Structure 1
Amino acid sequence: MNTSQPWYNESRVHQQGSTILNSWRADRQAARSAAPQAATPVSEVTRGTEMFDVLTGGFGPASAGVPVNEQTAMCVSAVYACVALIGGAIGALPLNLFKRNADGRDSYASDLWWLFNEQPWPNWTAGSAWGFAAQSIGLRGDGFWRIHRVTPYTNQIQGFEPCHPARMLVVRQSGRNYYRYIQDDGTEVVIDQDDMLHFPGVGFDGVRSLSPLRAALRPQAGIALAADEFAAAFFRNGARPDFALKTTGNITKEQADLLRATWAEKHSGVHNAHLPAVLTGGLDVHQLTMNAEDAQLLTTRKFQVEDIARIYGVPPHMIGYTEKTTSWGSGVENMSIGFVRYTLARYLTGMRQEINRKIWPRNNQVFCEFNLDALLEGDATAQAAYFSKALGGPGTQGWMTINEVRHLKNLKPLPDGDRLVQAGAAAAPEDNPPSQETTDTPKGNDDAPDAETAGQ
C-alpha cells in the first residue's frame, strides 16, 4: 500500500475496531458520566417523595400509626396473596417470538426465547424473574431488567439481569433516561436507556410510575397491620378487653403494684383465659374498653382484604375471600378471562411493548407476544365445544386444523391433519359406493371437491 498518499491516515489504520463504533461508544460513555446527580432541595423532601423514603428508611408511619414499607406490606396476607397471584400468573405465561410474512406470521427461532422463557440470568429462572418484575411494579411502581450485551459493539444480547427498584434512580437529561443503579458490591453504575428494560406501572410519567405503597396502599396496609397487632394483643391477653380493679378503700403504691403483678400472673394469656377470678377485700372489675364485637375487629379486617384486592384489581375470591358472591361470573373460565382481561393486561401490555421497542427497535418484522391460552382454558366440556366449532363441519367453516388443535394440547401432529374443513363439507355415506366417474379417487379422500365447493 502506498502510504505517501494524502488520504492515508496511519493512526486510523492502526486503531483497533471500527472508528465509527469507537467514537459512538466514547460519546455514549461521556453522556453517562455527565448524567446529573439528581440533587434534591431540602424544601422538596416531603412525605411521599423518594428522598423522604431514603432518609426515613421506609414510607413513614401510616394513618394507623404503623410504619409501612415493602417488607411490612408483604406481612399483610392480602397484599402477599395479590402480589403472588399476579407474579405467578405472569411467570407461567410463555413469551413467543414471531416474524411477519405475507401470509401472517411464523414462529421466530432465536436464542432470546431461552432468555425469556427459561433463564434470563445465571441465578434467575424465567418464572422467578417475571414474578419479581410483577412484584416490583405492584409495590414500587416499576420493574427493571438490565440488558447485558456480548460486547459494546453489537446488539447481540447475553442476558437480562433483574434489578431491585429500591436501588435504582432514574435521571432524565437531554431527552434520554439514565439509570443509576447500586450493584450488589455497593458500586454504582450508570446505564443508558437502550440497555435497560423499564416495565412501567400506573401513572408512568416518562421517568417513574406511581408507587402503590405511597399512592394507595399505605393507609390500607397500615390499618391491616394495626388490626393484626390489636388482634394478637387481644388474644395474647386471654381475649380480655382492658379493665380496672376497683376498691372502696385506699391502698399503697406497693400494694397496687403487687395486686397488678399477681393479677397478670394468674389471668393473662390464652391458657388462663377461663380461670375464675377470686376477688377479696372489696375489689371489683370494671371494663374500660369495648369488646371485640363492638370494636368490629373482624369487620375491619374483612374490609381491608376487599380494599387491598381492589387496589390490585384482583377479585377477592381469587385470594381466598369467598364470603360475598363475585360479580366476575361463575366458573373457572369466566374468572380466568376477567382476571386476564382487567388485571394482567395492564402489566403484560407494558412489558410486551417495552421488549419490542428495546430488543427490536423500529423493526416491523420481528415481535413478541405472551401466550394467554394457558390461563384462558376452560373445563373439558367447554374446550371440547370450542374445538368442535374451530375444526368446522357440516354448515360450519373451520378456522383451525387438527394439527393446530393437537399442538395446543402438546400432541404430535398427524400426517393428514393440516387440512382446513370448508363450510358445508360432509363425508359421503359408507353404504353409498363411489360412482364410475370417481373410481380413480380413493375412498375417504377428503380432498375431492363436493358439489358446493366445486369450481371455487
Structure 2
Amino acid sequence: MSFREKVGRWLIGTDAAQADSGGPISNSAEVALPTIRRGTEAYEWFTGMPAVAGLPVVTDRSALTISAIWSCVSLIAGAISTLPMNLYNRSSDGERTIRESDDLWWVLNEEFCPRWVASAGWEWLVLSRLFEGDAYAEILRKGPRVSGLVPLHPRRVEPVPWKDGSRLAYVVYPEPDLADQSVRVIDQDDMLHVPGLGFNGTRSFSPLRHALQNVGGVALAAQNYAGQFFANQARPDYALVAPVEAKFDKEKIEDLRNQVEERHALRNGQASKPMLLTGGLDIKTITLPNKDAELAVTRQLQIEEIARIYNVPPFMIGHNEKTTSWGSGVAEMGTAFVRYVLRRHLNAFQNEINRKFFRTASRLAEFDTFELERADLKTLFETFRSALGRAGEKPILTRDEVRRLINYGRTPGGDSFEETANAKPAA
C-alpha cells in the first residue's frame, strides 16, 4: 500500500499502518486514531492557518524572516545547545555522584544519531517547542539501553490517547522526501515528548497559532510595507492631477503611463531623471507619508511584543532603547537569563528524559548551567578561595571539585578536604 493510500485511509477514519520494523505496539487495538475536522490542528495543516484581520499568515518559515523572532529563538535554542548534560547516580540519602563514563553521555552531548549532531538536535527540539509548543524525538533502543534520538518535525507527529485515556501513542508520518517510509505508530515509552504551555494531556498551545498570530502578522505586514516603501524609492503613492480645462488624447495618456512605469521599473537607468509633465499636470500624494504612518514606531513596538512573548529582555536581542533591571554585570545578567528564561525549558527536557530513560530516582540527567552563570575571573576565583576554606573557615569543596568546574585535571590528594591552619570549627 502506498503512502498516499495510507494517508487516505487515515483521513477517512481507518487505522494507520503499523511500523514495518517494530511491529504493532502493545495493546495497539486500544488506540483510536482521529479524523480531520474543521477547527482541529490537522485541518489547519492541510488547509492553512486562518489569517487575522487580513494580516499575513505566520508560519514557521515566515516567522523566521522577522529579525526579532529569529533573535529570540536563536538566543534560547543556541544557549541550550551549548550546555553540557551530565549524568548522575543518586543515593538513598540524596547524595549525587557524576557518572564519568556512560554511553548515554555521548548521545546527549555529541551525537543523537548518525544524521543528527547533538547540538543541532537540541536546537531543533527547542525551536519546535518555541514555535509549535511540543518537541518530539523518537527514542532508539538496543534492548533496554537508549542508543540514540531522532528529532521529528512536530507536524509529522500526531499524539493519540488510548481509549481509556491512560497512555499516549504517536502516529508518525513519513518525511516528504522519503517515499519508502510508511506511517508508523509509536508507543509513548519510545517517544521523547517535551510539552510546552497549556499541555492538556495530548498537545500544548502553539505559539504560532496563539501569541504570534496577531503580533507576528502585524510585524510581517510592517516588514512587507517597509520593503515595498523603499523598493518604491521611499516615495508614497501619488496621482497626476490635471486642470479642468485640460484635455488628453489616448496617445498622451499612454505616454504618461509609460513614463511612470519606466521610472518605477528602473529601466535603463531612468530612475534618477525627472518626469516631464505638460498640460498643467501636478503631482498629488494620495497616501500618508512614512513619518505620519509611524512605521518605525510600529516596528519598534513589535520587537518589544515579540521579546515579551518569549520572555527575553529586549537588550539581549539588540533592542537597547530601554534599560534592564537584571543588573549591570555579565554574571548577573547571565544568572537572570538562566533563571527567568532558560530554566523552564531545561526542567521540561530534564523531566521527560529522566522519566523515559531511567524510570528511577537513583539515576538522573541534568543540564550544567555553570558556564552561563559564571562570574568574571576575579570574582570566580575569590568564590573558589572561599569554597576551599580561607583562614578561619571550613572548606565546602575539594581541590578536585573546584578544578572540575573549570575543566582542569585532578591532582594527587585533591579529593580530600584540607583545612587551613587557622580554620575553626563551624559554630
Contact (CA 8 Å) 1:93, 1:370: kept in 2 or not?
A: yes
Q: TM-score, normalised by structure 2?
A: 0.86
Return the letter of the residue paired with 1:133: L
Distance in structure 2 (CA, Å) of the matches to 1:148 and 1:112: 12
Radius of gyration: which is bigger? 1
> Are residue 161 (structure 1) and residue 146 (structure 2) matched?
no
Partner of 1:139: 131
Q: Decide whether aligned partners of structure 1 residues 122 and 252 sit closer, same or farther in structure 2, where only a CA change above 3 A counts.
A: same
Quick one: which amino acid aligns to residue 146 of structure 1?
A: E
Alignment match, 1:93: 83
Q: Establish whether residue 104 from structure 1 lines up as the match of residue 95 from structure 2.
A: yes
Q: Is the 8 A contact 1:238 1:268 kept in 2?
A: no
Aligned to 2:3: none
Contact 2:161 2:169 in 1 (8 A): yes
1:285 equivalent among 262, 283, 286? 283
Runs (5+) with no aligned partner, structure 2: 1-21
Deviation at 1:412, TM superposition (A): 1.9
CA distance in 2, matches of 1:40, 1:103: 48
Q: Distance in 1 between matches of 2:425 and 2:389?
A: 15
Match of 1:198 in 2: 193
* CA displacement 1:11-49 (0-9 Å, x = unmatched): xxxxxxxxxxxxxx99x73523552220244xxx13xx3
- Match of 1:258? 255
Look up the match of 2:113: 121
Question: How many residues are matched?
Answer: 395
Report the 3-state secondary structure (helix = DSSP H, G, I; strand = E; otherwise coil) of the residue aligned with 2:303: helix
Deviations 1:204-237 (A, max 9, x none): 1111110000010111111111111111111111
1:414 to 403, 411, 415: 411
1:267 to 1:193, Cα distance in 2 relative to 1, 3 A: closer
Distance in 2, matches of 1:288 and 1:273, equals 21
Cα deviation for residue 256 of structure 1 reads 2.6
Query: Deviation of residue 110 (structure 1)?
Result: 2.3
Over 3 Å counting, the alpha-carbon distance change for 1:393 and 1:62 in structure 2 is same
8 A contact 1:142–1:165 mirrored in 2: yes
User: Cα 1:267–1:88, aligned 2, differ >3 Å: closer, same or farther?
Assistant: closer
Cα distance in structure 2, aligned partners of 1:195 and 1:267: 58
Over 3 Å counting, the alpha-carbon distance change for 1:156 and 1:244 in structure 2 is: same
Task: Say if 2:263 and 2:271, in contact at 8 Å, map to a contact too.
Answer: no
In 2: Cα distance, 1:392 partner to 1:64 partner: 66
Q: Which residue of 2 aligns with 1:400?
A: 397
Q: TM-score if structure 1 supplies the norm length?
A: 0.81
**Given that residues 36 and 43 in structure 2 are in contact (C-alpha distance below 8 angstroms), is that contact kept between their aligned partners in structure 1?**
no
- Which residue matches 2:234? 239
5+ residue gaps in structure 1? Answer: 1-24, 428-449
Structure 2 SS opposite 1:214: coil
What is the deviation of 1:78? 1.1
Query: Percent identity of the aligned residues?
Result: 40
CA RMSD of aligned residues (A): 2.4
State the secondary structure of the residue aligned to 1:169: strand
Q: Partner of 2:15 in structure 1?
A: none
Displacement of 1:97 in angstroms is 0.7
Cα separation, 2, equivalents of 1:256 and 1:218: 44
Name 1:52's counterpart in structure 2: 43
Mapped to 1, the partners of 2:303 and 2:270 lie a distance apart of: 32
Partner SS, residue 160 of structure 1:
strand
* Separation of aligned partners in 2, 1:426 and 1:378: 28
1:39 pairs with 2:35: yes
Q: In the alignment, residue 96 of structure 1 is paired with which amino acid?
A: N
Say whether the 8 Å CA contact 1:168–1:181 is kept in structure 2: yes
1:372 equivalent among 364, 369, 372: 369
If asked which structure has higher relative contact order (CA below 8 Å, sep 6+), I would say 2
